[in-house]
Chains A and B, each alone.
Chain A
Amino acid sequence: MSFHQQALGLRAERQQVLATNIANADTPGYLARDIDFSATLAKATAGKAAPGPLALNTTQAGHQAASGAGLSLGADLLYRVPTQPSLDGNTVDMDVERVNFADNSLHYEASLELLTGKIQGLRLAMQSENS
């Protein structure tokens, strides 16, 4: 469950980065950004991500760590290597961005479906048998 939560959060974050790229496709001097999804997800699931602003303190041995990573996954924003840089210094390649955006949307939806399946499974397990 936590894995899909992290993945979903990261997908949402990447969606925004790609939307920023598409919005700035005509802005002179804008450099396209992206995040390394798999590396960031590995970091987030390994618990090495920077604690978010909602991190819980653990003061007792029985306390469970909650990093509050849903708000800050510590995603490193990288710069895209331009294949066809334009004269005004803009490195947004609309085709690349749109393909990535569609791909990211589909992955987001897939994560959503998987989470839904898990929640439905849990809900089924919690129901009494005679209802």
Chain B
Amino acid sequence: MAAFSIFNVAGSAMAAQSQRINAVASNMANADSVAGPDGKPYQARQVVFEYAPLARKANASLATANLAGGGLATQMASRSAGLGGVRVSSVELSDAPARQEYRPDHPLADEQGYVTFSNVDPVAEMVDMIAASKSYEANVEVFNTSKSLLRKTLTLGE
């Protein structure tokens, strides 16, 4: 039933935002981790969101038939469905330069005395976390509002 797909929409957004918060947690935990034995420091993870049209049986064949046509065709397919949630398309590694500190007495320092830390920017991560939690809250609100409206609809006429 169409009315219940709103839960899929809000639920997919909550899942995606919580994955974003997970990535932030991983990044923050590794903010001060040093390059391991392989010489590669931790790289900050970033989730990339993607619009995920709701799969409807009637439109599924249309969407796959149009896939070869490229961007416009998929746009039209999603327009006929019109609605959709969000999904995490990929988790990208940040290629920002790694932070280096001069610590000659550190056991993992290189010949010049520099220690390579992860490339995590803690301030940016905190901002990302706040944004993600606000988006999550908004979707919880959507979920709860829709739930109470549907519950009222179920008791229509009483």
Contacts and interface: CB of A to CB of B under 8 A. Distances in A.
A23 B138 CA distance: 8
Interface stretch (B28-36, B43-51, B60-68, B109-117): B43-51
B84 A28 contact: no
A25 B135 CA distance: 7
Contact of B152 (A18, A20, A109, A120): A109
Interface in A72-120: 77, 94, 98, 101-102, 105, 108-109, 112, 115-116, 119-120
B73 interface: no
Contacts of B145: 101-102, 105
Given A16-B6, A115-B156, A26 B135 contact: yes
B146 A30 contact: no
Interface in B81-139: 82-86, 131-132, 135, 138-139
A63 interface: no
Prevailing SS type, chain A contact patch: helix
Nearest to A72: B2
Contacts of A20: 9, 82-85
Interface residues of A, number: 34
B51 A119 contact: no
A23 B157 contact: no
Given A16-B2, A23-B85, A77-B82, A28 B49 contact: yes
Counting chain B residues whose Cβ lies within 8 A of the other chain, the interface size class is: 35 or more
B24 interface: no
B74 interface: no
B38 interface: no
B13 interface: yes
B157 A19 contact: no
Select the residue from A16, A29, A105 with max chain B CB neighbours within 10 A.
Answer: A16
Contacts of A28: 48-49
Interface of B: 2-3, 5-6, 9-10, 12-13, 17, 20, 48-51, 79, 82-86, 131-132, 135, 138-139, 141-142, 145-146, 149, 152-153, 156-158
